Amino acid sequence: MNSSLIIAVTNTEGKPIYMRCLMKARNLIRETESEINITPMLDVVFIMLIFFIVTTSFVKETGITIFKTNHTQDENNKVKMATIKLGTGGITVNGVATKLNGIQSLLANLRASNPDIKAQVFSAKDVKTGDLVQVIHQIKINNIDSYSVSTF
């Protein structure tokens, strides 16, 4: 069934112009009018995205500078460490076994060869506190200002 619609339209002179449209064509026009074309909006969004990426300034964050020491520098400066171990098996200074009253002479010899010597005292948990205090006193007698004490 072919239905048609007659529409009266006037031209600029006011004379009526009759147009005939098919109902199918009218339905087709209604369907196409309901769609929204978003292509131009996507174009604008991508252009804005490119603009913001190009105009963004990246700031380089400042941080701390780390200077690494060279091992040859330590050998030239002759910075040594006197390691004193107090344990149940006895007392050692840089691996040399000694008695409590012999620590002072060994430290004096090490300090004579290197005035910038430092000391580390490692003490077992069962060592008497008095022995540890005597070792620290002998370190101070030899004018070794930099020393540390820890347990093992």
Say which residue the tokens 């500078």 belong to: 65
Domains in the chain (CATH in brackets) are: 1-36 (no CATH), 76-151 (3.30.420)
**pTM, full prediction:** 0.48
Q: Choose between 137 and 88: higher pLDDT.
A: 137
H helix count then E strand count, the chain: 5, 7
Alpha helices in 15-89 (DSSP H): 23-33, 39-55, 71-77
- Phi first, then psi, for residue 35 (nearest 5°) are -85, 145
Which of 17-21, 54-58, 94-98 has the weakest average pLDDT? 17-21
Residue 27 vs residue 111, higher pLDDT? 111
Q: Is the model's pLDDT at 50 over the cut of 70?
A: yes
**Which of 82, 78, 79, 145 minimizes the C-alpha distance to 109?**
82
User: Does position 46 have pLDDT exceeding 90, yes or no?
Assistant: yes
d(CA 152, CA 149): 10
Q: What pLDDT was estimated at residue 13?
A: 72
